[in-house]
Structures are given as structure tokens and as C-alpha cells.
């Protein structure tokens, strides 16, 4: 590892990561230098060592033979910690080791296993280092080589402070302090970064089988490296059977010419040299393919470890200097998928994500790489790199900025943020807060045994506690419907009720009377709950500062965009804050807390419904945190808002105004037409990603017809148009006028085919047929199939023909899809279908 000397003068660098240098037994901080556009490595100079905690005295620890004789043992040191579970100060002992594996991680004989009880022994060392040194990844530091990096303090813009000032009045000092330090952290500017995207191709004869990167048996055919600094390169291996030709590919604003290499090792070295130039490298699946393949291929060809700028982890690949971001892992993350990208892509493949976010898919073709000419490979490989870079740079580098913001909130290294999901981010945030305040991080088993289980029973078999209320919709058409909902109900409930793992069923006798509704659970009156404090301050910042600022037209666009990224990142944390508390794998898992949140949520929604009825408003539907109000007078809406704040301290806002809503008898299923005629579709089959395209198209035509309806009379006209549409769809189906692809169901296979042991669903049957034909399939792949006549009933689209299509099955689909809307409108499609059938036979 190259390490910076101490001669440079003070520079402003951004801390992006901390890694552990095994041979040196040290944490190494990775800083980004915005002026030089490169990464600077600074090793720890404090002598920080890995440790865990014990409740034994230092003397007692030293009496444990295995520990003092442990080759990795370093020293013991007494420390005071406050235990939130018992609300008592404890005298604990820090047991230090020379390397993280000696604390824990070896199959046997680790120090944590030799202690009768160990605390904080499962935290990755890099994270320990960040927390203990009070580091803030994503922040700017002043580095002058001699002294330890000092954080540069920013003051948030005055307008931000003003917005919060009012809210902070009357709040306790701890809360004010928390909010201010968050603002300081989140409002820092994000530096401009140079990013390169890498994609490689391998000379593998099979197109359906991905080359095994652990073996790296076949030669690397090419590498495309596109970057934001315009240094775009396409490196290519010369093959004995093909004469090099000169060509030019236009990409990323420049004309790219192939650079041929006679020798594969030279090619690899050139790739490595290029990779080492960049502070940030993005790939799509680089953790499991591109970087691993390059590393292992180079090793196989006897390139020395020192020459390879890549280090391999168990299921990831890091760059020795730069920051590697695997977009596949990040975009696969459910929170990112839903809250950051609004669920616009469903399948996480480069092609699908590229199409959905950029309108740019992969170059299509089934030819194996060795059968392609140089130019074909170039088009293919460069396109993949283009999509990868495009995904990172779109919307003014939204993705990278989001990663940076999640890094700041979670206190994790950037690479770790990308690889982990929201529960790890929240875990890190929580542990950091415990450390900073001198609180002992509780052991999960202690939380569980002290707090006990749940007292309610879930509706769904196998779930742990009762969730939200969903009202029975009043079926039919309702004009002028206003939807009101609570602004982040569950985080608000956590905030206003002081909920946290330590405050719910706290140890104080005098708090026991402070019951949560009519449950046996109580909540602490003496302490401010840590979860409540953290979630509450993040919520207030999002609602009062960053969301409004991101929409403030008087601000310059780049500033608004920064606030929008902050707002999105906060949303991710807030939305998951309740869920993790009910997730067994979360280290602060606390069933009574999770249960109390939904319990309070149910109470609040029921009360809101009561209140609306009391005001004479009819509630036609509601789900979890929302009510659908029919024809509510404006003054009553205001009364409800006021009621919500006064009664529960939670904001209730108007979310939508529907010109009309169509409800069937089903919950979570409706069509709402907004003032502008656009339709909001929820839950209906016609909207599902698995529904055949021809059905969806017809369904959207139906919605278009409904969008034109302005009043009750309009429905009569619409009804006949809809009938016409239905019979036209049926006619085309019977005449075989739809393309096979449009008849296909598209269903995600969530696991490998052999993991379906209990039943074999239709899409798995099809997947097995495909596998028999030599197609390689993985969990997460979308299976496209049509319904055919015969025993199996289904076939892959590619392997079927119009003759086999089971038209009656498709008739059922049309009926049920249309039926979901039409039965509420009083249109009987069953009749239509039959009439059509008759006329068809005539």
C-alpha cells in the first residue's frame, strides 16, 4: 500500500473509508483529495487496538489461562459504561488484542469465546475504529501530515437553521444538540469526483453460462473503461484467428479506438494501470465477477499480488486505493430500489435497470464472445460500461451522492454502505451513538430475555404480532374523494411516545404505571429513549428542513438537489426504523417495541376515523395511516388537521384529491382518477408486472376511458366504450393477433429451481424446461412463459407457437383483470365474454 508522507502542507480531504491493513495490523483511513482527484491513505497513528468488553475485573480476566497465553492477547484496561437495560453504571474491562481475528472470527480459541460473557465483540474492526476515533465518513478533514486529521467544521446555511429554530424552542438540550450536529454533517457540500466504469468480456464459448471467476480459465477478451474525465479506453486482446481492424466507436462524448494487445498479461497490466488512476470505480457485479476475474486471471498467469490493484474479500472485491462501488449490490438493495428510485425497476439486471432509469439497454444478441468480431465485442462491452457509468452519473450523480449521504448518516465506510442493507446502516448508526455517549452496546440475547415477547397475535400465520388496520372499502364509485394521511406515522409514534428498546418495559418500578394504551407494556418516564431521540431528530430534519428546502424555488438548483438527496437518504432510514425493531436479525431487536408501534398506529387511525365520522364525513376506505374521505368540506379538513396535532402531535396532511375513486370489494385494490384525468392504480392485476402485456395494454386503454369521465352521466358513455374494448381484446386473442411475447407471463424466480421442494409453481416448471435446454438460470431471474394446452400447461415463450396457446385460460385472465374494475361499475363482463364466444362460433 502506498502511504502518504508527512511533508505536504495542510489539505482539505474527504474521509471516504477505513480499511484494515492485515500485515501492518493497523486501521488505514482512505481520504479523497478533490484537488488531485485521488485517494490518499493515512494509517492510524494512535495505536488503536481491537478489543471487546467483559464484566469481569481486569484481574479476573488475567486469571483466564487461554486469554493471557493467547498469542494475540495485548492488554486489559478498566472502563466505565452505562448500561441502558438496567439504567446503571457498570465497571467493565476492555480486553485488547493485537488483531481483530484474535478477538473473534476464528473457528475456536478466540478471546470472546474464552470470556464467560463478552460485549461489543461482533463489531467489525474498521467500524470500531471509526466510532472510537469519532470519525465521520463523508466529512471533510484538514490533513497536514504531522498531526492527526482534524474535522473541518461547516456551519449550515442560515435558512436551514432558521427553519429549525422554531421547532427547537422548548426542546431539551440533548435534542437540540443532536439536531444541530446532524445539520452540520448533512449540509456539507459533496465534492466533485472523477468516476470510472469498468466492464470486461471473457473468451468463453458458452453464452448461457457465466465464466467461473474463481477458476478464471478463459482469456480476458476486452475491457472497457469509461470515465467522467473523458479518458475513455477500450483494451482488446488480439486473437490468432482474427486480423485486427481499425474502427471507431462513439461513446461518452469521444471517439474510442481499440487498443490491441498481443499478450494477455500485457492487457491485464494495462487494465490495472488504468484502474489505479481513479479514485472511484463503478462496476455492475464487479464484486462477484469483473474484479474477481481480473484478479484471479492475473494470478493464474503468474502476475504478482503486488501488481494487482485488487484485494478480494469473501464476497466482494476492493481496490487497494480507490473506492469500488458495485452497482448491482446497491441497486439490489430493497430500500434503494423502493425509496431512492421509486420502484421503477423490478429486475436487477444491467439491461432492465438501464432501460428503466436511462432508457438504454444492453446490446442484444446471443452470440458467444469468441464468435464475435472485434468491433462487435467493442459495441457490446462499451455499451455495458456506458450504462454502468450512466447509472452513476444520471441526475447529476444522484447515485453517488446518495451513497455519500448514507455514508454520513450510517458512519460506515462508503464501500460497506454499498454492500450492506438498511439494517446494517441503522445498526452502525445506533452503535456509534452508544459509543459516543458512553453507553454499553447491549447483547441481543439480553434485550430479548429482559423485554420478553409480544402479547398480540398476528392475522397472518407465522408472523409475530398484530400489524396495521386495513378498512373494508365501500365498493362502488365515489366522486370527490380526499385522501389524508399521517406524515411518517410510525417514526412519529416512536418519537412522540419516547419508544426505544431501553424505555419500553424499562427497569424502573415507578414507570410501570405508564402503560402503552391497554397493553401490559409501559414506557419510561425518567429517560429519553435513544431510538426516539435519533429517529425523532432525523424525522424533524426531513419534515421541517430538507424536504421543504428541496422544493424551495428561490434556491439555486444545485442546492435544491443536494437537499433532495439528503431528504431521500433520511427517508430510507425513517422508513426502516420501525421494521428493524421487529426483525430478529437486527441486534437491537425488541418485540414489545415493534408491537407497541403498530398498536399505537392502530389506535391513532381508529381515532381519526371516529373523529371524521363525528364531523359528519364519510370514510370510504383507509389503510394503516390514511383515510379516504368522501366530499369533505374544506373547513372540516382543517379541523381534522388541527385535531391530529393537538391529540397526537402528528401531522395529518392532504395527500391526494381524486375526481373519483372506484372500489371493488377488495382491500388494497382501487383506481383513483385525479383532477387532471390521470389514473392512480393500486394493487390491480392489470398493473402487476407478471401480467401479460396484451392484458396490461387493454387495461390501460380501460383506464384512459375512465380518465375521461367527469361525472355520473359520463359513466354511461364509458361503459359502452369499455364493452367495445373488451370484445375487441377477446376477438384479437381468438384470432391469434397478439404476438407470443405479449401473451407471456413474467414471473420472478426468487430461488434456484432445485430449492423449490414443497411445490412446483408454473414458472419453476418452465425454468426447469429451460435448464434442460441448456439455459443457465439464477435466483432473481424473470421467467417468461405462455399458457398452452396439454399436460404441463405452460411453456417458455421462445419454445412455443400460436397453435398451442390455451385461449380459454387467457379468457379467464381477461375476465378477472377487467372484472376487478368493472364489477364496481356494475358492468357484467361474464355476459360480454359469453356473447362474444357465441358470435365467434357463428
Partner DNA sequence: GCGGACTGCTTACCT
Partner DNA sequence: ACAGGTAAGCAGTCCGCG
Kindly indicate which of the ranges 28-36, 48-56, 305-313, 463-471 contains the residues binding DNA, using the contact rule CB under 7 A: 463-471
Q: What are phi and psi of 254, to 5 degrees?
A: -145, 165
**Nearest distance from C-beta of residue 535 to DNA, angstroms:** 12
Kindly indicate which of the ranges 7-15, 164-172, 208-216, 465-473 contains the residues binding DNA, using the contact rule CB under 7 A: 465-473
**Nearest distance from C-beta of residue 686 to DNA, angstroms:** 10
Measured distance CA(262)–CA(268) in Å, rounded: 11
In the list 7, 314, 364, 461, the residue contacting DNA (rule: CB under 7 A) is 461
265 in Cβ contact with 301 (< 8 Å):
yes
Residues within window 121-140 making contact with DNA, judged by CB under 7 A: none
Residues within window 568-607 making contact with DNA, judged by CB under 7 A: 575-576, 578-580, 582-586, 594, 598
Q: What are phi and psi of 787, to 5 degrees?
A: -90, 125
Residues within window 674-713 making contact with DNA, judged by CB under 7 A: 681-683, 685, 687-690
Measured distance CA(524)–CA(511) in Å, rounded: 5
Q: Considering beta carbons, is residue 427 or 723 the nearer one to DNA?
A: 427
Q: What are phi and psi of 630, to 5 degrees?
A: -90, 120
Residues within window 807-836 making contact with DNA, judged by CB under 7 A: 809, 812-813, 816, 820
**Nearest distance from C-beta of residue 814 to DNA, angstroms:** 10
Kindly tell me the sign of the dihedral angle through the C-alpha atoms of 408, 411, 412, 413: positive
Residues within window 474-493 making contact with DNA, judged by CB under 7 A: 485
The three grid cell numbers given for residue 433, joined into one nine-digit string: 451513538
Measured distance CA(604)–CA(610) in Å, rounded: 10
Q: From the CA atom positions of the chain, what is the Rg in Å? A: 30
**Nearest distance from C-beta of residue 764 to DNA, angstroms:** 7
101 in Cβ contact with 25 (< 8 Å):
no
Measured distance CA(484)–CA(492) in Å, rounded: 16
**Nearest distance from C-beta of residue 809 to DNA, angstroms:** 6
42 in Cβ contact with 4 (< 8 Å):
yes
In the list 388, 669, 729, 784, the residue contacting DNA (rule: CB under 7 A) is 669
Closest CA to 658 of 633, 686, 631: 631
3-class DSSP string for 775-830: CCCCCCCEEEEEEECCCCCEEEHHHCCHHHECHHHHHHHHHHHHHHHHHHHCCCHH
**Nearest distance from C-beta of residue 779 to DNA, angstroms:** 9
**Nearest distance from C-beta of residue 169 to DNA, angstroms:** 31
The separation between CA 680 and the C-alpha centre of its own chain, rounded to angstroms, equals 24
In the list 171, 231, 269, 346, the residue contacting DNA (rule: CB under 7 A) is 346
Q: Considering beta carbons, is residue 422 or 523 the nearer one to DNA?
A: 422
Measured distance CA(63)–CA(743) in Å, rounded: 73
- Identify the helix (H) or strand (E) that includes residue 42: strand 38-43
Measured distance CA(325)–CA(286) in Å, rounded: 8
β-strand 11-21 against 26-33: which pairing, if any? antiparallel
Each residue of 68-95: b (16+ CB within 10 Å) or e? eebebbbebeeeebebbbeeeeeebbbb
748 belongs to the binding site for DNA (CB under 7 A): yes
**Nearest distance from C-beta of residue 22 to DNA, angstroms:** 23
Kindly tell me the sign of the dihedral angle through the C-alpha atoms of 94, 95, 97, 101: negative
Each residue of 564-602: b (16+ CB within 10 Å) or e? bbbbbbbbbbbbbbbbbbbeeebbbbbbbbbbbbbbbbb
Residues within window 498-527 making contact with DNA, judged by CB under 7 A: none
**Nearest distance from C-beta of residue 549 to DNA, angstroms:** 24
**Nearest distance from C-beta of residue 642 to DNA, angstroms:** 21
Residues within window 168-197 making contact with DNA, judged by CB under 7 A: none
In the list 145, 677, 707, 793, the residue contacting DNA (rule: CB under 7 A) is 793
314 belongs to the binding site for DNA (CB under 7 A): no
368 belongs to the binding site for DNA (CB under 7 A): no
Binding mask 406-445 for DNA (x = CB under 7 A): --------------xxxxx---------------------
Q: Considering beta carbons, is residue 393 or 531 the nearer one to DNA?
A: 531
Binding mask 266-295 for DNA (x = CB under 7 A): ------------------------------
Residues within window 600-659 making contact with DNA, judged by CB under 7 A: 623-626
The three grid cell numbers given for residue 547, joined into one nine-digit string: 424536504
Q: Considering beta carbons, is residue 279 or 582 the nearer one to DNA?
A: 582
315 belongs to the binding site for DNA (CB under 7 A): no
Under rule CB under 7 A, how many of the chain's residues touch DNA?
A: 73
In the list 206, 678, 760, 839, the residue contacting DNA (rule: CB under 7 A) is 760
750 belongs to the binding site for DNA (CB under 7 A): yes
Measured distance CA(596)–CA(521) in Å, rounded: 8
**Nearest distance from C-beta of residue 129 to DNA, angstroms:** 21
Q: Considering beta carbons, is residue 58 or 587 the nearer one to DNA?
A: 587
- Identify the helix (H) or strand (E) that includes residue 409: helix 374-410
241 belongs to the binding site for DNA (CB under 7 A): no
Amino acid at each position: 500500500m502506498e502511504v502518504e508522507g508527512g511533508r505536504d502542507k495542510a489539505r482539505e480531504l474527504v474521509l471516504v473509508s477505513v480499511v484494515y491493513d492485515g500485515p501492518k495490523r493497523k486501521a488505514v483511513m482512505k481520504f479523497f483529495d478533490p484537488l488531485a482527484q485521488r485517494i490518499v491513505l493515512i494509517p492510524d497513528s494512535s495505536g488503536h487496538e481491537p478489543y471487546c468488553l467483559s464484566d469481569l475485573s481486569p484481574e479476573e480476566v488475567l486469571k483466564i489461562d487461554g486469554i493471557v497465553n493467547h498469542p494475540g492477547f495485548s492488554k486489559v484496561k478498566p472502563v466505565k459504561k452505562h448500561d441502558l437495560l438496567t439504567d446503571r453504571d457498570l465497571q467493565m474491562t476492555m480486553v485488547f488484542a493485537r488483531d481483530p481475528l484474535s478477538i473473534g472470527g476464528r473457528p475456536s480459541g478466540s478471546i470472546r469465546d474464552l470470556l464467560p460473557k463478552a460485549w461489543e465483540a461482533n463489531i467489525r474492526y474498521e467500524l470500531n475504529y471509526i466510532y472510537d476515533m469519532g470519525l465521520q465518513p463523508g466529512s471533510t478533514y484538514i490533513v497536514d501530515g504531522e498531526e492527526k486529521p482534524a474535522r473541518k467544521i461547516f456551519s449550515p446555511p442560515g435558512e436551514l437553521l432558521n427553519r429549525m429554530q422554531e421547532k427547537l424552542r422548548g426542546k431539551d438540550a440533548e435534542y437540540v444538540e443532536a439536531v444541530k450536529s446532524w445539520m452540520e454533517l448533512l449540509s456539507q457540500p459533496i465534492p466533485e469526483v472523477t468516476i470510472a466504469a469498468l466492464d470486461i468480456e471473457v473468451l468463453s464459448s458458452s453464452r448461457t453460462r457465466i465464466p467461473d471467476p474463481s477458476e478464471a480459465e478463459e482469456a480476458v477478451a476486452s475491457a472497457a473503461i469509461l470515465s467522467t474525465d473523458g479518458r475513455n479506453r477500450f483494451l482488446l486482446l488480439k486473437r490468432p484467428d482474427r486480423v485486427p481492424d481499425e474502427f471507431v466507436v462513439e461513446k461518452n462524448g469521444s471517439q474510442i479506438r481499440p487498443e490491441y494487445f498481443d499478450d494477455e498479461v500485457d492487457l491485464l497490466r494495462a487494465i490495472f494501470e488504468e484502474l489505479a488512476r481513479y479514485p472511484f470505480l463503478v462496476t455492475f457485479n464487479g464484486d462477484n465477477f469483473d474484479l474477481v476475474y481480473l484478479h484471479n486471471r492475473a494470478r493464474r498467469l503468474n502476475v504478482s499480488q503486488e501488481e494487482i490493484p485488487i484485494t478480494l474479500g469473501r464476497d466482494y472485491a476492493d481496490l487497494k486505493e480507490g473506492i469500488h462501488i458495485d452497482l448491482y449490490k446497491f441497486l439490489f438493495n430493497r430500500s434503494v430500489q423502493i425509496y431512492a428510485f421509486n420502484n421503477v425497476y423490478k429486475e436487477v439486471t444491467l439491461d432492465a435497470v438501464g432501460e428503466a432509469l436511462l432508457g438504454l439497454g444492453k446490446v442484444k444478441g446471443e452470440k458467444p464472445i469468441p464468435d464475435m468480431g472485434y468491433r462487435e465485442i467493442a459495441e457490446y462491452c462499451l455499451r455495458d460500461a456506458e450504462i454502468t457509468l450512466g447509472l452513476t452519473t444520471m441526475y447529476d450523480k444522484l447515485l453517488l451522492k446518495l451513497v455519500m449521504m448514507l455514508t454520513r448518516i450510517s458512519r460506515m465506510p462508503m464501500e460497506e454502505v454499498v454492500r450492506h442493507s438498511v439494517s446494517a446502516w441503522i445498526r452502525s448508526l445506533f452503535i456509534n451513538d452508544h459509543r459516543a455517549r458512553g453507553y454499553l452496546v447491549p447483547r441481543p440475547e439480553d434485550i430479548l430475555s429482559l423485554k420478553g415477547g409480544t402479547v398480540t397475535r398476528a392475522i397472518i400465520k407465522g408472523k409475530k404480532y398484530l400489524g396495521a388496520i386495513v378498512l373494508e372499502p365501500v365498493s362502488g364509485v365515489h366522486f370527490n374523494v380526499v385522501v389524508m394521511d399521517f406524515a411518517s406515522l410510525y417514526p412519529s409514534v416512536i418519537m412522540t411516545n419516547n419508544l426505544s428498546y431501553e424505555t419500553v418495559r424499562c427497569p424502573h418500578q415507578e414507570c410501570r404505571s405508564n402503560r402503552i394504551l391497554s397493553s401490559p407494556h409501559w414506557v419510561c418516564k425518567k429517560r429519553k429513549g435513544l431510538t426516539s431521540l435519533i429517529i425523532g431528530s432525523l424525522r424533524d430534519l426531513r419534515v421541517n428542513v430538507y424536504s421543504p428546502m428541496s422544493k424551495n424555488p428561490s434556491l439555486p438548483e444545485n442546492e435544491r438537489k443536494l437537499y433532495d438527496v439528503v431528504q431521500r437518504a433520511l427517508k430510507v432510514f425513517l422508513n426502516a426504523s420501525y421494521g428493524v425493531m421487529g426483525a430478529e436479525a437486527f441486534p437491537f431487536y425488541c418485540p414489545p417495541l415493534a408491537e407497541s408501534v403498530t398498536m399505537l398506529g392502530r389506535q391513532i387511525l381508529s381515532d381519526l376515523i371516529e373523529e371524521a365520522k363525528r364531523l359528519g364525513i364519510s370514510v370510504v376506505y383507509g389503510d394503516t395511516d390514511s383515510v379516504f374521505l368522501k366530499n369533505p368540506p374544506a373547513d372540516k379538513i382543517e379541523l381534522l388537521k388541527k385535531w391530529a396535532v393537538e391529540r397526537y402531535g402528528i401531522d395529518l396532511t392532504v395527500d391526494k384529491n381524486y375526481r373519483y375513486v372506484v372500489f371493488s370489494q377488495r382491500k388494497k385494490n382501487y383506481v383513483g382518477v385525479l383532477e387532471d384525468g390521470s389514473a392512480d392504480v393500486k394493487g390491480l392485476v392489470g398493473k402487476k408486472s407478471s401480467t401479460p402485456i396484451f392484458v396490461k395494454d387493454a387495461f390501460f386503454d380501460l383506464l384512459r376511458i375512465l380518465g375521461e369521465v367527469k361525472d355520473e352521466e359520463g359513466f354511461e358513455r364509458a361503459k359502452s366504450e369499455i364493452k367495445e374494448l373488451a370484445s375487441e381484446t377477446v376477438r384479437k386473442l381468438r384470432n391469434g393477433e397478439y404476438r407470443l411475447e405479449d401473451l407471456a407471463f413474467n414471473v420472478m424466480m426468487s430461488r434456484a429451481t432445485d430449492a423449490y421442494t414443497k411445490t412446483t409453481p408454473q414458472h419453476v416448471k418452465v425454468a426447469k424446461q429451460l435448464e434442460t435446454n441448456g439455459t443457465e438460470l439464477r435466483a432473481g431471474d424473470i421467467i417468461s412463459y405462455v399458457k398452452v394446452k396439454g399436460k404441463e400447461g405452460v411453456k417458455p415463450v421462445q419454445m412455443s407457437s400460436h397453435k398451442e396457446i390455451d385461449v380459454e385460460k387467457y379468457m379467464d385472465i381477461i375476465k378477472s383483470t377487467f372484472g376487478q374494475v368493472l364489477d364496481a361499475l356494475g358492468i357484467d363482463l361474464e355476459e360480454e365474454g359469453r356473447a362474444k364466444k357465441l358470435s365467434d362460433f357463428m
